[in-house]
Amino acid sequence: MLRQEGITLRRQGLNDEQVNEAAALYAAGKSLAWLGARFGVSHTSIAIALRQQGIQLRPRPGWR
């Protein structure tokens, strides 16, 4: 009903295909921020999706 009325809905996260693409791009060196912008979600959403796939995230620059 909301779509029929032209109301913009919040993103619902990533689908399986997007998670697979994000994982490949992350493995190729893209950042969480870059991936978030690419898929229209937050970097946190990307991090959660990657962790759920068992992918270990790289340490943040300058953090130990």
5-32: pLDDT as tens digits: 887 766 678 999 999 999 999 999 999 9
Cβ burial 24-54 (10 Å sphere, 16+ → b, else e): ebbeeeeebeebbeebebeeebbbebbeeee
Q: What is the pLDDT of residue 64?
A: 64
Residue 47 pLDDT more than 90?
Answer: yes
For the segment 21-44, the average pLDDT, to the nearest whole number, is 96
Q: What is the pLDDT of residue 6?
A: 82
Per the model's pLDDT, the better-predicted residue between 25 and 4 turns out to be 25
Per the model's pLDDT, the better-predicted residue between 61 and 21 turns out to be 21
**Taking every pair of C-alpha atoms in the chain, what is the biggest distance, in angstroms?**
49
Distances (CA, A) of 23 to 6, 7, 8, 9, 26: 33, 31, 28, 25, 5
